[in-house]
Structure formats: structure tokens, C-alpha cells
Structure 1
């Protein structure tokens, strides 16, 4: 080993004399290579990285020439060599390590620049299992981890985002790096390999062993976008994007950056619209404010569905989020042109609609297909931990009549619509829904109350009275849908007193028999779905 091997000085500075560059993403690598060459750093490299550097006129020594061991197995084995890992791992100030390095002829490597095979890209492309496996990097993570472990003497750059910092640090310190910088790069490197392994673990579990566990042990939150702030201006926030289809990966066609609250409401709107699309092939519209539906409608004409949903609670619809099940067209755009909403989600927007909506510079347009099937995971934080559950997806599988008076065919369809709306309201939730000449509508909703009576009497009924008058309908034309069972018969009694003749609820109370008896006594038809939909 050369006698002028780099050592750490009293200030923690280490001179960079030899670097190993092996990258998949070539962004910025030529500029960095040229900088290192100008600072008299010997460059070791592999394959495509070496070609890129040599094509730019930068001298490079091939790793296989340096180790004396050729690349093999179609590129699967390139950098895994004792000479490389010895040069990275031996402790420069340890006499025993230095003696071993001299005896084994392991020269020091002071810098590793490495980024990894694009596994996540192939997940997005839905590549074959074989292609995915070939894009699992082995040597790269090993080198990164080895360099990061020995950060007392070695610096590691695990991505192009760090190149500028490295060059500025070396330029300011006569070709050296300081211990604080090396520590920071070490942490970033371990974060990069952890995120890489998390992505591999999650995707292989999904593909190769889907029944291996109820919930993922590792959730990849590596792809982050910083948000202006969180739920409130004093809270910092970011959007972490997973590998699956959803609001986080929607195509933003126009408008300001999405906020924390925009994203939450957009997700609520999209999920409700997705359920409505399963229920009916006709155009459906969901209008969401603060996580709750304030307008829901299905109609043969999509513009009518939008008008109906908006008019159900025009005050709350101001500043809302809208999701639709069919392409957003010119007639809808002309209606919204006179209104104020924050976000519109649709599977597509017609050119005419885009032209009209482009005048609203702040309005966000999100292009996103509906959620049709599959499994989704819900994660919520609590102090000291996280709650993980299956997302409440899909429609209720059945509806069983429980009373002597049965739901007729029309009311059964209205009840199915109502059960969907109630599912997407915050508990305790009551939805009063009806069939109109144009389709289905939400007449009134009560949500977020600590008891079910208040949701019905104080919220849903007053709103329904207003809307039914506008529609030319009566309370007897509605169906009451509840997200959970009735613990007592009082909800039935209040509903019957208001003129409601049909109810759908999950059932499951120890007093179900009392509730059924009250319905029979009061002439109310009631069906059970057998599935509760609490939403906190």
C-alpha cells in the first residue's frame, strides 16, 4: 500500500485520492468525474459509468483491472471483491487494520459515488418478474453500506442530489471532506438503501407471496413531495407517495399546488365516486367539504348530476372538492365557471372543458381513473404507534328484509345508494336519499355527531325538508341509511314521526328485535346489510 495513504487530520479532514464511481442514473456524473480528475483523484469505475466518463475524455481505471477479477454472470457480479471492500472498510488509524491492508495489498478507496438499479421504475412499468429481479441491485447497496459504515475515513454519495455538496466541500477544503459532511452523507446513504430494500420487500411480497402477512411490515414512504403546510399553517407536512394507483399519483393538469386538506378531501371524493361507479353506469357526482359529502347525485345527464349535487347544499359546496365518474365536459365546465371549488377529479376532461376551466388559474384539475377493485391499506398515527387496517372498500354484499313491510324494488335501489353515501360520512352518520325523475340524490345528511339522534333530527331532517321541497317530493319518498346499527328504537321513532317509511342499516345491536318491533308497529320497512361502516 502506498505510504501516502489518506489519514484523518486533527480537524477530521480526509483527502480524497481515489474514488469508485458506479451509477445507474448518469445525471451529473460527467461533471463530477471532471471535477474529481481536476483534483487529482484516481477514478475507478464500471460498465456504462466508465463509458460515459471516457466518452467525456476523463481518465478511468476499470474496476476489473484494479481487482484482477473480471465482470461475470452477465453483469450480476462486478464490484463484489475483497479488494474493494477491504479498501472501503479498513480503519485508517488502526495499526492492525493498516497491517492487514498492507499484507493483503488492499489500497484505500476514499469516496464511493453510487446509485442503484431503477427497481421502483420497473414496478411502475409493471415489468415482468424476471425483469424486476434483474433490477435488484446487489453490489451497489453493499458498497454504499460499507462506505457509510467507515465514514470516519470514507465519504459516500448515494445519488446525484449530493454531488454539488460534495464538490463544494472539496473545493473549500483543498480536496478534503470533513467529518460532519461524511456523517451526513452516511445517514443519507443508509436512508437510500433502507428505502430501496423496503420497495423490493413490498413488491416481491405482493407478487411472490401475497398471503404471507395481513399487513406490510415496511411501508415505503421514500417518494416525498413537500407541502406548503399541514392541516394548519403552523404544521409542516409532506406527501409520501406509494407504488399504488390513487390520488397521490394523479395527473395534475392545472392549478396551484395541492394542500394537505385538498388531498384529504380529494381522496374522500374519489373513493365515493369510485363506489358510485360500481353501483351505477350512469354519471355520478360527489361534492366533498371537510371530508364529508355535502352533495351526491346520479343522473342520465352528467351536467344535471353536477347541478343536483351542488344544489343539495350550495353553501357548503363553496370551496369544495368535486369528483365525477365520467369525462368532465363543456356543459359541466360552464356551470362550474360561475362557482368556486378547489379541485375537480375526473377520468378525463374534454378539450372544451379544459379551455373554459383554464380561466380559473387556481382551480386544480386532477385526471385519475376510478378505483375499481383491489386491496388498500389505511394507516393512521396515534401517540407511540400506528393503526393499520384494510381500507373499507366495495359495496355491501347483501340486503335482507327484517320487517313485515318489505322494501319494494325502487326503495331497494335507493337504499343501496343511501348505504354508499352513509359509508362515506363521518360517524355517527345518517343519509336521507331519494329517487328523482333524473336519478338518485342525497336529500339530507347528518354526520360527526356523538349520537345518532342528533345526526338525524338536528342535521339530516332540516336539510332534507329544504331539498325535498325544491324537488317536489315528500319525506315518505326518502330512505334513511345509517352507517351503524341502532342501539335503541328512538331513531326509528324519530324517523317515523318525520314521515320516513324505509330504513337500511347494518344491524347487529343486542336490541335489534326491539328496533324491528318498533318498525312493524310504526309501518316502516327496514333491511339489514350486515356490514357496519364506522368512519372516525
Structure 2
């Protein structure tokens, strides 16, 4: 019992001593939280030598001793700076072809020692180690080596070991040490030292430490992904590293806070914000809308535009001249329409596909926004725009919209979204190859399966337009196009025929907006434009409640004559030349039967159903031309 008690007592003493030592270390670290740390010694090892000579010259002027290795040391000496080799500092020569040079206790002791800790100070003195206050480094360019097409052995040789080790040691001990990992940080370090007598601030050290650990995670994730590709199997762990860019007002709903947008570390966002504060749904709309118009422009060679609401297009169009009847329906004179630039014309068409649904849209155009386009947007209720560029005049017009809150995004030139995309839902992360296929003429021409093979260039254009549009429409989806514009989009229905009916109702409304009775509605002076748009649609629909009709009639100088069901039906019979595209095959002929009532002459769909023969037969009965694209375009 006595021996057991003595042993127990010794353990307690040991734990107490350990606790006291730990407390002493913690106290020393916490004690430095408000302290400035003067830089006396810096270790420099960079592959990207941008600005390093000027920065090192500044450090030397502050009395900082410079340690370095290899090519960096040579570059500094060639600039006339005094540099001590790391091998001289450690007392150990570089070996193994340079694989081992900074992996030494003198380096990591100098970085990790807690300043002011008695045990650390004593052991540093016993070992002959000196503190290192700053590490300036870049990691070996592993990603660039892979992208250069280097073989496996070369890529493996470009995996940095010493760099990440020093980076992590310095970042961990940021209470006393400063880690600098990119040339863009040099100015901030120099400013801090100039303002604080050669010292850096804790805030700066902590910020740079966070960036260093993120860089370390990104670097390891690149290596893990490369190894997985080489092994032709999934990596056991997928690491994605993101950098916060801006805080959003809230998520999809006001109670979903916090909300933020991130970029992949080391990569730009696809847009620069020129004006306004984008929201969560705004950026989702912008991402989809920009891809749509970019692909549409590439496929057709025409200026393209889209009007998005809740991550589906309300309308999309290319620059095709307006007819006189369309000018009347869209409230623009034929003379003014003829003067529109292609970009303005494309957006005018896109916005007028379904002007009720486009109310409060987020729009996109494929090229430069000019004054014509800006003036159209100026009068519309819209949240924002994304475009390739803006003229100075257009930018001034748009910046004044919505009291200066209109969101203006400039697309990043040559943006690389990456081959794979990821989405986190309910704690699960989905990964897939990005849908980078672009529908073009080759998917339409030569793939006609009906008896009628007639396909004009205008019909091919409209089928391409409809197909690219539904690629960015929530599935199930179908889209109708005519004269270079979407005239009906059906999104997010579980049944294919319901998509056709939903979109078909929009087609009928679009076409009936050109009916003589609709164009002649006697509005009172002062009725707002959007109110006129809504009133025309309600007139076409005709299903008023008694109270609604009273308020509706207040907008007119006289009671309009009703638009009867017979008149609608007779007018719709004149509709022809409309194209329809479906994001997946038609499982039954009911979709074709319904489309025939709307003037559909051309059909594009992937094909691949056991009912393909029946669908083709239905198209033949109506004299339609149908092409099997072979590409399913689901979008969720």
C-alpha cells in the first residue's frame, strides 16, 4: 500500500509539473496577444521571386538577418544583400539532392520556440538554436507541374515537404512568428514594420497564419486529387478549400443567416461586382444566366440575352429583328426598334417572352452593355445584370437604377470553372462532371428522324436556342422558341406533358398579346407600363373574380369587349413555325398532340425511349420535323 501510495504521489507531482509547464506556455502565448513582435531574423525560400529583392532589401534596412537557400540565396546575393545559408545556420549540409535542407531542429526550433518560456529559452540555448521571427516562402509549383504535362515521377518530385513544414510551424507559432506566403503580402508586412519600429502586429500574424493553413490544405488536396487520378480511383478523402469573398444579406430566406459566397482558393470568382450587393439567389441566377448567353452566342454567333427568375429562365433570345406586330405588342415603335443595337434587341426579346414572370428578373447579355441596352433596363423592374463588359455611359445609367442598389456584375474573362462541380445538400456532398456540352448545329442537322426533313436555318437556330435554354432550366423542362426568342418555358414539373402544357399556356399568351383586340385596349393616360403588361395578360386569361374585374376596368377609358374563347382559338390556328425542345425524351405522344395546338413545326429531343417510334409517328401525322440530339439536359 505504501509503495502504491508513493507511486501515486509521484504521478500526481508529475502531472502537476506538466500542468504548470503547460500553463506557463499558455500564459506566455496569451501574454503576447497584444504585443508587437520585432523581426530580427527571416528565412526566405521562394520559387516566385516577384518583388523578393525589394522586400528583402527593406528587411535588411531594418537590421533583419536574412537566411536563405539555393536559388533564392543567389538572387539576393546578386542584388548585393548579405545572406546566411540555412546550412550554415543549422550546421548541417543540404543532402539527398536538396530534399533535406530545412528539415532540421535548428529551423523548426527557431520557429516553434515560445518566447519568454523558461524551458524553451534554456533548451534553445543548450542546443545553440536562434529564433527565426519570419518565414517567407512559396511552395513548389505542384499544380503547374501537373498542368505542364510532366510525367508521374516529375510531379512527385515537385511535392514540397520542407516548405509546408516550415509554413505550418511558423503559422502555429503566430503569437511570435510571421508567415508570408505570397508576394501580395509584402506591402502589408512592410507597412506594419514601418509603423511599429520593425515589428509586426498580432492581427497581421493571425490573418497570415489562417491563409497559410488554408494554403496547406489546398496544396495537399491537389496532391491527393492527382494521386487518385493516377490510380484511377476516388481519393479516400476529397479536400476542397474555399476563400470567403463577401457576406450576403441572407440565404434563400431571411432566417437563413449567416450567408456568404466563397471562391475556390487560388481561383477567381466568375464575376466582379461593379455595383450593388448581390444576394444568394441573385448569384445563382447570374451563374446560370451567364452560362446560357455565353453558350448561345458561341452556338449562333448572335448577340444573346436571358431574363432569369429563381434559377430558371423566364425568357432568352438572340438578336433577330422585330416585326411590326411585335413592336406594337412590346410597346416600341418600328423606327426605334430598327435603331437598337444587337445586344439591346436580344434583351428586349428576352424580356418580352414572359414579361409577367420577368418582373424583378436578373438578366444577362453575352457582349458589351451599351446605352441602348441600359435604357431598356432603366425602365424595367429588375434586380441586376451580368455581362462581358459595359460602356462608360451604360455603366452610369445602370449605377443610378434602384437608388444606386442595382447589381452590376462583370463576367471574369476566360474563367475556368473546373471539370468537376460539387454541391453540399443536407450534409451530403455531391460531385459530378460539369455539364460542359454545348448544343450546336451538329446536334440538329443530320439527326432528323421524321418523314419531313425540312429544316430552315431559322428553325435550326430556334431549336438550338430552345435546347440551350432548357439546359439551364430546372427539370423536367421543355421550351418553345420562335423568331430567335423563347416564347414559353415550362420548368420543374414531374410530368413531361405537364411541362408542355405549362409552357404551352405561356406560348398561347405570348401569341395572343399580338391579337388586334389586345393591341387596341383603351388604357387611360398614366397607367404604368408594367400594369399595362399585367392587364393585357389578365384580359387574355379572362378568369376574373368580380372584385378583380372592378379594379381591372379602372385602367381603361371604356369597357373593353371580351376576347372570346372562339376568337382565341381562331387566332391561335394562325400560329406556325414554332420550335420545341425537351430536356429528356417524350415518353408518350400526348406532348406532341398538345404541342400541335400551338403551331409547333419543329421538335428537338434526346430520343432513347421505347416509345420513340410512336413519337415519330405522331410528328409525321402533324407534318412536324423532329431531330434526336442524343443529349439529355437535366438540370437540378
Residue 368 of structure 2 is matched in structure 1 by 327
Is 1:403 the equivalent of 2:434?
Answer: no
| CA distance in 1 between partners of 2:31 and 2:60 (Å) | 19
Change (3 A) 1:84 1:467: same
Superposed, 1:489-528 pairs within 5 Å as 489-528=589-628
Change (3 A) 1:90 1:329: closer
C-alpha contact 1:431 1:446 (8 A) present in aligned 2: yes
Residue 275 of structure 1 is matched in structure 2 by 295
CA deviation profile, 1:101-134 (whole Å, cap 9, x unmatched): 787x25475x7544542889x97xx9999xx999
- 1:296: Cα distance to partner? 0.9
- 1:190: Cα distance to partner? 4.1
| CA distance in 2 between partners of 1:423 and 1:154 (Å) | 52
CA deviation profile, 1:66-102 (whole Å, cap 9, x unmatched): 434589999998744332235567999xxx9999978
CA deviation profile, 1:123-162 (whole Å, cap 9, x unmatched): 7xx9999xx999986544212334677x7x9865546799
Q: Secondary structure at the match of 1:393?
A: coil
User: Mind listing any 5+ residue stretches in structure 1 that lack a counterpart?
Assistant: 1-5, 19-30, 168-176
| CA distance in 2 between partners of 1:194 and 1:363 (Å) | 37
Is 1:391 the equivalent of 2:438?
Answer: no
Superposed, 1:306-455 pairs within 5 Å as 306-360=347-401, 361-368=404-411, 376-396=419-439, 397-399=442-444, 400-409=447-456, 410-435=458-483, 440-455=484-499
- 1:277: Cα distance to partner? 1.1
Q: Secondary structure at the match of 1:479?
A: strand
Change (3 A) 1:258 1:514: same
Q: State the TM-score, normalized to the length of structure 2.
A: 0.63
Count residues in correspondence: 482
| CA distance in 1 between partners of 2:105 and 2:635 (Å) | 56
Change (3 A) 1:244 1:475: farther
Change (3 A) 1:313 1:60: same
Structure with the larger helix share: 2
Residue 14 of structure 1 is matched in structure 2 by 28
C-alpha contact 1:117 1:137 (8 A) present in aligned 2: no
| CA distance in 2 between partners of 1:225 and 1:358 (Å) | 22
Q: Secondary structure at the match of 2:390?
A: coil
Deviates further, 361-370 or 73-82? 73-82
C-alpha contact 1:227 1:260 (8 A) present in aligned 2: no
User: Mind listing any 5+ residue stretches in structure 2 that lack a counterpart?
Assistant: 1-19, 46-52, 68-82, 194-201, 321-341, 516-571
Deviates further, 188-197 or 279-288? 188-197
| CA distance in 2 between partners of 1:315 and 1:227 (Å) | 31
C-alpha contact 1:289 1:316 (8 A) present in aligned 2: yes
- 1:417: Cα distance to partner? 2.1
| CA distance in 2 between partners of 1:372 and 1:434 (Å) | 31
- 1:266: Cα distance to partner? 0.4
C-alpha contact 1:297 1:306 (8 A) present in aligned 2: yes
| CA distance in 2 between partners of 1:211 and 1:9 (Å) | 47
| CA distance in 1 between partners of 2:157 and 2:346 (Å) | 49
- 1:14: Cα distance to partner? 2.6
Rg larger for: 2
| CA distance in 2 between partners of 1:327 and 1:375 (Å) | 25
- 1:487: Cα distance to partner? 1.7
Change (3 A) 1:45 1:527: closer
Q: State the TM-score, normalized to the length of structure 1.
A: 0.73
Change (3 A) 1:117 1:443: same
| CA distance in 2 between partners of 1:59 and 1:413 (Å) | 68
C-alpha contact 1:117 1:135 (8 A) present in aligned 2: no
C-alpha contact 2:300 2:461 (8 A) present in aligned 1: no
C-alpha contact 1:519 1:526 (8 A) present in aligned 2: yes
| CA distance in 1 between partners of 2:206 and 2:416 (Å) | 45
